[in-house]
A and B are shown apart, each in its own frame.
Chain A
């Protein structure tokens, strides 16, 4: 149960943050709105934590209720996030392609 402090996780975080800065810097300013809805959808991966809470036993009614809300909220985000990002990106067309 106890994870404790793991320096490896800090290394993972630092590397991922650096990678994130490098990747995001290269994103065209044209796409900053869809970028935000995409990162939003991806951040909804928190749903895995929520699924574990909702799915594990033993449980109490309180943890079930909170878990249910958390799974639902995160799913709303990931479904609407990916769909609306794609809807936005579909609109970005080059001049010739119309």
Chain B
């Protein structure tokens, strides 16, 4: 379809190179902003090149759509709070997949207009639309879950897997039928509806704690859809970009699965995080609680502190207070570092972004594997809004629901402090032995106000010495 206009060909080729460089420069914070610039340049080249194509004639309408998109996109980028990054990512997957899906519909209508029967193009378009529309609705539901417009618990019902399988088979059946017979408008509508329905069914049984994997997987689907479109249109730029995006999504999804010691299948169909009836409500084991002043005293007298943040820190918007605590302790000569579990939060890298926003230097944000060796010699492990990622049952109890999941070994630190609202079980509904250890102090309260109180106690206390 892209007929040999050499200028356009070169523009597309350079754009592809820019995108590759962009990802290459993302490898490290010191070069990453250059990566964004390379990406922007690539995009500019791709768009300008396309506008030069001789079949593109309706400039006013294109300009209007581009301006409208920019007018919506720019405020979205600047006004979005960093705690809402997972939601924004879900919405952008939905929009991207919608665009890809709609392009597929129009191309299919065009094929039908030419009176075509089955062709390679119609097959590629059917594949593209399947991924596009299911990713679109799946992302919308993921957004609703992340924004807590709907319950973050898995939505499950009896026979769900059969219903899902039926919808899946029907969607694929429709896709095949449509590829064989692009003329049928009714088939096209039914197919789009089924693919959209399947997207909803796919995400419905997935709980909030599995969102990092799902978001990464939807990223991969969106990329594959773009690649499929490239095949249908004979456009190498789209194929390359889609493959890069798809690879990125799959790698992130695999990292997330490994960090939970679970398989793709288990995440997608496991219904993890259901409320287990009757469980965890059993006998109340004793815990030791401590006040803000106690916590301040212990932190002040420590040489080394490791802070383990979790989704609870994001929910309480506590990252800025945590940064104050970091400053206060660092200025007293305490070595403070952060231990980041890969699945802490609601998307890959969520905690890093929040802490970076609060001005924590990035070299203090340490990966799980790297920091675990240091924990036995750490004076205080301070856990803020994390639960399952520090649960020693994952390591010690082979019967636990999270058995085998790699954890941050906070229980090995000399003293453990846990900021938590109450003794309710965590997302996975699993009892956490860590809270009942002799060396553990429970700090009950809202993460933001509790950390604020500790900071105050630290600055007030220093005058007395």
Report A's interface with B, CB cutoff 8 A. Answer: 1-6, 9, 12-13, 16-17, 19-21, 23-57, 59-60, 62-64, 66-96, 98
Which of B29, B76, B105, B350 lies in contact with A76, CB distance below 8 A? Answer: B76
What are 30 A-to-B residue pairs whose CB atoms are below 8 Å?
Answer: A2-B116, A9-B231, A23-B24, A26-B27, A28-B29, A32-B349, A33-B347, A37-B85, A38-B35, A40-B92, A45-B43, A46-B238, A48-B49, A55-B51, A56-B57, A63-B109, A64-B61, A67-B106, A69-B99, A72-B69, A74-B99, A77-B92, A77-B95, A79-B69, A79-B73, A83-B77, A84-B80, A89-B33, A89-B36, A91-B353
Number of A-B contacts (CB under 8 A): 373
Contact A9 B234 (CB under 8 A): yes
Q: A92-B29, A98-B361 are in contact. List 18 more A-B contacts (CB 8 A).
A: A24-B247, A28-B28, A29-B342, A29-B367, A30-B352, A32-B252, A33-B347, A39-B23, A39-B223, A48-B235, A54-B62, A66-B103, A69-B99, A70-B106, A75-B66, A77-B99, A78-B73, A80-B88
Report B's interface with A, CB cutoff 8 A. Answer: 1, 15, 19-20, 22-24, 26-29, 32-33, 35-36, 39-40, 42-43, 46-47, 49-51, 53, 55-59, 61-62, 64-66, 68-70, 72-74, 76-78, 80, 82, 85, 88-89, 92-93, 95-96, 98-100, 102-103, 105-107, 109-110, 114, 116, 119-121, 215-216, 219, 222-223, 226-227, 229-249, 251-252, 255, 340, 342, 347-350, 352-353, 356-357, 359, 361-365, 367
Contact B57 A40 (CB under 8 A): no
Which of A34, A41, A74, A78 lies in contact with B32, CB distance below 8 A? Answer: A34
Chain B nearest CB, measured from A7 CB (Å): 11
Q: Which of A47, A76, A86 has the most CB of B within 10 A?
A: A76
Q: Which of B20, B82, B241 has the most CB of A within 10 A?
A: B241
Contact A54 B92 (CB under 8 A): no
Given contacts A3-B234, A29-B349, A46-B238, contact A13 B227 (CB under 8 A): yes
Chain B nearest CB, measured from A10 CB (Å): 8
Q: What's the Cα separation between A67 and B56 when bound, in Å?
A: 12
Nearest A residue to B39 via CB reads A42
Which of A2, A9, A23 lies in contact with B119, CB distance below 8 A? Answer: A2
Q: What secondary structure prevails in chain B residues at the interface with A? A: helix
Chain B nearest CB, measured from A89 CB (Å): 5
Contact B247 A98 (CB under 8 A): no
Q: What's the Cα separation between A26 and B231 when bound, in Å?
A: 28
Which of A52, A75, A81 lies in contact with B65, CB distance below 8 A? Answer: A75
Contact B237 A87 (CB under 8 A): no
